Amino acid sequence: MSSSTNNSKVILITGANTGLGYETIKALLRSQTPYQIALGSRNLQKGEEALTALQKEYPSETRTTPLSVVQIDIESDASIRAAASTITQRYRRLDVLINNAGANLENEAQEKGFDHRETWLRSWSINVAGPQITVKEFLPLLLKSSDPRILFIISGTSSLADTERFDGSYGIINASPEAGWPKKKTVNPTQIYRSSKCGLNMLIRDWNRILKNDGVKVFGVSPGFLATNLNGMGPEALKKIGALDPSVGAEFITDVVQGKRDADAGKLIRKDGIQSY
């Protein structure tokens, strides 16, 4: 359905076939506000399977939001460009871009060694370069919107100031390992992930600077400590150390889409306030 026949906001969510992205689509569907949602998925088949599951849970007769799948691999410039072309043909504009796709490759790094350059470069490629190129490719479509928004999904582990905190889950992620080398595998390997997400924070600030006079609202959205498959530990293991259901983060993202945190545009935000850099 093109925007010429449907004036509801067009939303693209990358990495939406599973985890937080998938739950965000469900939260948007529950909101009763009509949207046009493009489910971005690196693997088209997995995207179609996710779409089928959503359509089964939310039949068309009970919702006003049409759903579609867009193949987008943020590690591939060609894939990003092709996705932008698909959105152009299908909707003619984009109102909300949610840069959700990301990766935590810490377990891979521990298996291959912390000096494994390929793992470091791939992490920065996915978590920083991928969103950067995605924004650049989709900007012409976003600037056709009357209320364009770009959401970057950030991490609570990425704050430089918070590396000195030891309350709550920070006591786990900021704990120092025992003396000796090589270090034993632990439940808090975040060196590669949090450094790349810290780099993303700077990217967000700069996009806010660049787009300030274009009326584009830019947000860094920290969804909280969630039980997803992001770091390879698995949801159940994460819940045991305090992780919340992904639906909690998805509801927060929906609030941002719907303008409930517009006063904080340009900042890194948490559900309960502002996240430090």
Kind and range of the H or E element at 269? strand 268-270
* CA–CA distance, 97 with 269 (Å, rounded to integer): 17
CB of 135 closer than 8 Å to CB of 99: yes
What b-and-e string marks burial along 20-55, b requiring 16 or more CB atoms within 10 Å of the CB? Answer: bbbbbbbbbbeeeeebbbbbbbbeeeebeebbeebe
Residue 12 parent element (H or E): strand 9-13
Residue 206 is given by DSSP the state H
| DSSP string for residues in 48-110 | HHHHHHHHHHS-GGG-S--EEEEE--TT-HHHHHHHHHHHHHHHS--SEEEE------HHHHH
Active site residues: 155, 193, 197
**50 vs 68, 90, 126, CA distance in Å?**
10, 20, 22
